Amino acid sequence: MKSRVSSAPPNGDQRLDADRADPTPSPQPPAPSAWGVFLITDRAQTNGRPLLEVVDAALQGGIRAVQLRERDLSTRGLLGLAEQLRALTRRAGAALLINDRIDVALACDADGVHLPGNSFAVADARAVLGPQRLIGVSTHAAAEAAAAAQSGADYVLLGPIYDTPSKRAYGAPLGVAALAEARSLTRLPLFAIGGIDPDTVRQLSADGIAVIRAIMSAVDPQRAAQALLESFSPQRNTEDH
């Protein structure tokens, strides 16, 4: 789908030449089991930098999955930003997921949606999105992760594992034991979220990690993405626990 870039992107974001012609076919995005590190956006954590600039740097650092999660934007503003991110992620061969907004995901031709725990049922989202697009679900207990898998989700986020400001509303950190329990209940791709950095990532028994601040607030988002990817190995992290 051709990107329709807003002439006044939200938060003062600059166009990164998202529509420039490129004769090289875009690589296909990997499946969730191969993402490793899943980036979730937050314009409030970029330290004043344009969101597109930070995400583009993260993609250059190897990120292959991005969730657009800017819940304060109007529908028009969100769609304009989504279309610009769609162009960036497609060129990088990365998946783009839209938080909660099935309409925006379809309009920008995203790879799927990510559903908060209080959002649509997976079956209802699947009826609209069809079988090809991805559906992820946020969960806050091992039993919820298992239920999401049984409902037909393609991957699950579980957290917060460690303390983090963005997840304090969901209660105390679950700890690494919750990951091990969830892993015993489902083989669906499982992503840990909450307070994760290169120092804590090796303790996690998960298929991947989801981060916001660790990349969005980093002085060098490209290097931060590389460091997380180097620290996290899905095979090692699932086999060592």
Cα–Cα distance for residue pair 190/158, rounded to 1 Å:
7
Two tokens at 27? Answer: 């690589």
Q: From CA 135, how far away is CA 169, in angstroms rounded? A: 23
73 alpha carbon, distance to own chain's centre? 18
CB 94 within 8 A of CB 117: no
Q: Do residues 238 and 207 make contact, with C-beta atoms less than 8 angstroms apart?
A: yes
Q: Which of 138, 166, 205, 231 is catalytic?
A: 138
Closest CA to 2 of 109, 111, 112: 109
Which of 101, 167, 183, 205 is the catalytic position? Answer: 167
HSE-CB for 8 with a 13 A CA cutoff:
1
Q: How far apart are CA 129 and CA 186, in angstroms?
A: 23
Q: Where are the beta strands (DSSP E) in the chain?
A: 37-40, 65-68, 95-99, 112-115, 134-139, 155-158, 190-193, 208-211
DSSP 3-state assignment of 151? coil
Residue 168 a catalytic site member: no
Find the catalytic residue in 69, 91, 101, 183.
Answer: 69
> Which residues is 193 bridged to in the sheet?
210
Active site residue 26: no
Name the one residue in this structure whose structure tokens are 């090809």. Answer: 132
138 has catalytic annotation: yes
For the annotated catalytic residues, the residue numbers are 69, 138, 167
